[in-house]
Amino acid sequence: MTFKEQIQQGISNILPPLKAYDTSVSHAPKRKEILSRDEKKLALKNALRYFKAIHHKTLLPEFREELEKYGRIYMYRFRPDYEMFARSIDEYPGKSQQARAIQLMIQNNLDKAIAQHPHELITYGGNGAVFQNWAQYLLTMKYLSSMTDEQTLVMYSGHPIGLFPSHKNAPRMVVTNGMVIPNYSQPDDWEKFNALGVSQYGQMTAGSYMYIGPQGIVHGTTITVLNACRKIDDSGTTGKLFVTAGLGGMSGAQPKAGNIAGLISVTAEVNPSATFKRHEQGWVDEVILDLDELVNRVRRAKENKEVVSIAYNGNIVEVWEKFDQENIYIHLGSDQTSLHNPWSGGYYPVGLSLEEANIMMAEDPELFKIKVQESLRRHVAAINRHTEKGTYFFDYGNAFLLESARAGADILAENGVDFKYPSYVQDIMGPMCFDYGFGPFRWVCTSGKPEDLQKTDAIACEVLESIIAHSPKEIQQQMQDNITWIKGAQQHNLVVGSQARILYADAEGRIKIAKAFNDAIAKGNMGSIVLGRDHHDVSGTDSPFRETSNIYDGSRFTADMAIQNVIGDSFRGATWVSIHNGGGVGWGEAINGGFGMLLDGTLAAEQRLTSMLHWDVNNGIARRAWSRNQEAIFAIKRAMQEDPLLKVTLPNLVDENLLK
């Protein structure tokens, strides 16, 4: 069959042959044993319901073996034979251009060059899944290939519940991931519900089909470390050392960002497949396996004021301790291991090999938890010694501070409540970007043509340069950083997978860039464009230890903003919307929402983008202004001046002296 025919077929009535376990790709570790005997039976029944009864006898022992061996039923037999990558939108079958765009984005998320564990349908973060199993993938793609613009596909944690009649202005897809009752939102609840096949962890852009490879976080990390350096002093980045951990799907961006920012960076990673994958992709310059060699190399880099990224294939705790012993001064420190998922491969304890840790987490999870927490205490102790010497350490939104505190590490401030170290949102991204409305706007060229991406880069740069000419001084730095970024985007070879780009923009920038794209499409200058953003944005996510960590009115544990955001996006013109439990900080720790929007050059697309993008940003600014964030008050007042239909409740500020 042709590629289109395979998509349209969905789940074949004839069982495909069994597939050999492919060792050429990275696989998810075995998940912990958590189901009772009766629950295992239920998991098997849940899996078999995707298939005709005639096949149950054949599939039952196969699925039982997967459940016992991997802790999940992935249905490897049904993994497609065709190569998984984002094709040109015209290569996908369908009656709806919007639905074809979603097919493209789904396949991009599962591209082995992008996905962390592609055969387990996990894009990044150790457990950030697009689907729970391959049957869900096949069904979803079939639905998308047959739907019209008068239907909406409803997704329950990877499962396509079905196509429902709607209308052309409704979203073509509505996605929920992990929307469990709050009292059942602990890490073990995820393990149980996921093993049963009834819920999944969508991370942020994994389960919403908007991941664009590590480029997405390269830009955010570049902006973060640039501004972190500005907090230290005004001498620039030359010669400064940045030490961190993680080279996976999201964290793999760190060395590239370090290079773009002009730093010396050392990133530790315990998984050699991840380490060498990033090196082969050109995202890290050098790989070192020995600590003494690492010390010598960093000393040379400092002496020569090099711009270089170094991957250490080993445990980050060893690096912090060794650099302390050798008196290697670290200017910036952070961590991007997947500590939202500490007990299932998100963080590997010092003193165990990768293989030993994987065995222990599956066969003795309680001991593994003890080892992780011991390692976190050592990790923090080493960081504390460096910060006493002047290192600026910040949490990069991966629950490092939270899990370290839970482990009993010396991470709390003197009041015993707050952390010693700030979240990067508290110190950097919140007051400098989010409060002003700047966040990770992104787009994908559905033609797959590099020349289309070049055209969009040029358009975006032209728009930003026209805006900065009249921008207030409060946002001049943000504007210039993004103009510098987009001008250098091509030379940094950021594309992995789809022809995609990201930059930080406010509502004005997003709307004007999107309109310019839509005009170019209408003129036939390039193919259609999918707009999106990271959920990690101005109003997409309520996350008390990350995105909303600089909300100080007591509301940072509420999730009204994220829920209102996705509801508002859905009726203002989004092609698809998503809302998730979890994200980068862990199951039960955040609620986050996202969207996708197809630009096809029509007037209808222009109307949708104007309405939706304005809301998508200003919803968050309004909430941040109400919490008395001065930068957000400035931004929302400016927005109200520009659009008289916008009327936002502003806070009356209280004289602190009255409260003494």
Q: What are the angstrom distances between the C-alpha of 81 and each of 61, 89, 158, 178?
A: 23, 20, 21, 29
Look up residue 63 and give its amino acid: F
- Nearest-angstrom CA–CA distance, 220 and 426: 15
What is the end-to-end Cα distance of the chain in Å, rounded?
76
Note whether 481 and 224 are within 8 A (CB): no
Tokens 């001064």 map to which residue? Answer: 329
Contacts of 554 (CB under 8 A, 6+ apart): none
CA 96 to chain centre: 27
CA 19 to chain centre: 30
Look up residue 549 and give its amino acid: S
Give 268's strand partners: 245, 312
Q: 450: helix, coil or strand?
A: helix
Residue 61, Cβ density class (10 Å: 0-12 exposed, 13-18 middle, ≥19 buried): exposed
Pairing of strands 332-333, 392-393: parallel
Length reported for the chain? 660
Tokens 């069959």 map to which residue? Answer: 1
- Residue 28: HSE in the Cβ half-sphere, 13 Å Cα cutoff: 28
Tokens 């052309």 map to which residue? Answer: 168
User: Which bin fits 437, alpha (ψ -120 to 50), beta or left (φ > 0)?
Assistant: left
C-alpha dihedral over 110, 116, 120, 123, to 10 degrees?
-50
Pairing of strands 591-599, 529-533: antiparallel
Note whether 315 and 348 are within 8 A (CB): yes
Q: 164: helix, coil or strand?
A: strand
- Nearest-angstrom CA–CA distance, 590 and 244: 24
39: tokens are 């629950």
C-alpha dihedral over 75, 78, 83, 85, to 10 degrees?
-60
Contacts of 511 (CB under 8 A, 6+ apart): 609, 610, 613, 614
Binding positions are 125-126, 203, 269, 396, 584
At 356, give phi and psi (nearest 5°): -60, -40
User: Which bin fits 438, alpha (ψ -120 to 50), beta or left (φ > 0)?
Assistant: beta
Look up residue 297 and give its amino acid: R
Neighbours of 27 (CB within 10 A): 17
Binding positions for NAD(+) are 125-126, 203, 269, 396, 584
214: tokens are 């590590």
Note whether 136 and 158 are within 8 A (CB): yes
CA 286 to chain centre: 25
Residue 316: closest CA among 400, 388, 237, 226: 400
- Nearest-angstrom CA–CA distance, 623 and 600: 32
- Nearest-angstrom CA–CA distance, 54 and 602: 48
At 309, give phi and psi (nearest 5°): -115, 130
- Nearest-angstrom CA–CA distance, 335 and 174: 33
